[in-house]
Amino acid sequence: MFTQFLGSYLLKMRLVDTRQLMRALEMQRGERLRLGVLAQNKGYMTAAQVEELHKLQRVQDIRIGKLALEKGYLTTQQLETLLEKQAMRYHLLGEALVRRGCMTQTEFDKAAAAFLGSGDMLDDDVRDAHTGKLSEMLYRYYHLEELQNHEEAQLLTAYLLLLFNCITRFVGDDFSPLEPRFITYYATGYAEEQCLESVEDNAYKLRCLIDGNENTFTEFAARYKGSVFDGYSEETAAATGEFLSVVNSLFCEKVAQKFGKKMRMRSSERVKDTDCRYKRKALFVPVCFSFGTAGFVIGLE
C-alpha cells in the first residue's frame, strides 16, 4: 500500500498532477505482476491453483501467499523469492513518472525519502507486512480522530484497510487515494450502495457507496469480473454490487472476530443520479485509478 499513498503524497505536494499520476499508474500496471502470476511464471503453481486461491480470497481476508502456504502450494522459500520480486515496487511508479518527463529521478527519490520520513510510512512497511502500522497510517490520513468515538474510528479504520486490500486484489493496484473529507450530502452519478446494520442492538448502521462517471464505473466492474463491458448496464451495476458485497461480507466477519459484534448486510441498491443525505458525517474517499476517479462514501448512522 506504500506505492498508492506515495502517489497521494506526490499530488498533495503538487509534484505531479492527477493526469500525470493516472498515466504513470497505467504504465506501472503493465509492468508489475501479481504474486499469483509470478508463481505461475516460476512454475511454482498451476493456473487452477491460483484461481482457487483467488476465489478463497472473496470469502476470507487472507493474503494469497499465506493461503498458498496453508494449502501446501508454495514453500516458505518460494514465497520469499516471490515477495522479493514484488518488494520496493514503488520504484516502478518512479520509473513511469521519470520516463514521461513528469519528474527527474532525483526529484522522485527525494520525495519518496521525505514520505518515508514523514511518519506516514516506515521502511519496514514497504512490503505491507505490518497491518497495525497500516491501520495507524489510515487513521491519521483520514482524520478519524474527528469522530470522537474510539470504537467507531476503529470500525472505519478496519473498513478502509479491507476496502483497499480488496481493490488491490480484485481490481488492481494502479490507484492512489486522494484527499478525503467528511460530508453530510453526496450527489451520485453512476453508483451502487449497500447498508450494514447491527443484529443485536442496532447500535450501528453503515452505508457503503461506490460512485463514478460511466466510464470509470464500467471499467471498475470490468476489472472486477475480468470481462469487457460496453458502457453502463444492469450487468455492470450487478458486478459493482457484487464487489461491495464481497467487501462487506468480509467486514462482517472481521467485526465479529475483532469487536464481538454481529452485523447483517442488506442487498445492494442502484442509486444512480441520487441525492444521498447522511444523518451524521460520512467519510468521502476519492480514489484515483489509471482509468478515472471513483468515489467511495462510508457513513456511520
Confidence band of 89 (pLDDT split at 50, 70, 90)? low
- Indicate whether 274 pLDDT > 90: yes
CATH class of the 154-300 domain in this structure: alpha beta
Residues 12-59: pLDDT tens digits? 899 999 889 888 888 877 555 567 877 888 899 998 998 899 888 888
Vertex 169: Cα angle to 164 and 173 (nearest 5): 65
Report which of 229, 240, 300 is spatially closest to residue 270, judged by C-alpha positions: 240
Q: Would you give the DSSP letter of residue 34?
A: P
Tell me the C-alpha distance between 287 and 189, whole Å.
15
Q: What is the mean pLDDT of residues 61-79?
A: 89
Q: What pLDDT is attached to residue 141?
A: 79
Tell me the C-alpha distance between 150 and 156, whole Å.
10
Q: What pLDDT is attached to residue 232?
A: 92
Q: What pLDDT is attached to residue 63?
A: 82
Residues 200-231: pLDDT tens digits? 776 678 999 999 999 999 999 999 999 999 99
Q: Would you give the DSSP letter of residue 138?
A: H
Q: What is the mean pLDDT of residues 138-156?
A: 80
Cell 498533495 belongs to residue: 12
Instruction: Measure the CA dihedral 96/231/168/118, to 10°.
Output: 60
Q: What is the mean pLDDT of residues 130-153?
A: 76
Q: What pLDDT is attached to residue 47?
A: 87
Report which of 226, 142, 208 is spatially closest to residue 180, judged by C-alpha positions: 142
Burial class of residue 226 in the structure, from the number of CB atoms within 10 Å of its CB (0-12 exposed, 13-18 middle, 19+ buried): exposed
How much is the mean pLDDT over the chain?
A: 85
Domain boundaries along the sequence of the chain: 2-151, 154-300
Tell me the C-alpha distance between 160 and 140, whole Å.
12
Tell me the C-alpha distance between 100 and 263, whole Å.
47
pLDDT over 90 for what percent of the chain?
Answer: 44
Q: What pLDDT is attached to residue 127?
A: 42
This prediction has a pTM of: 0.79
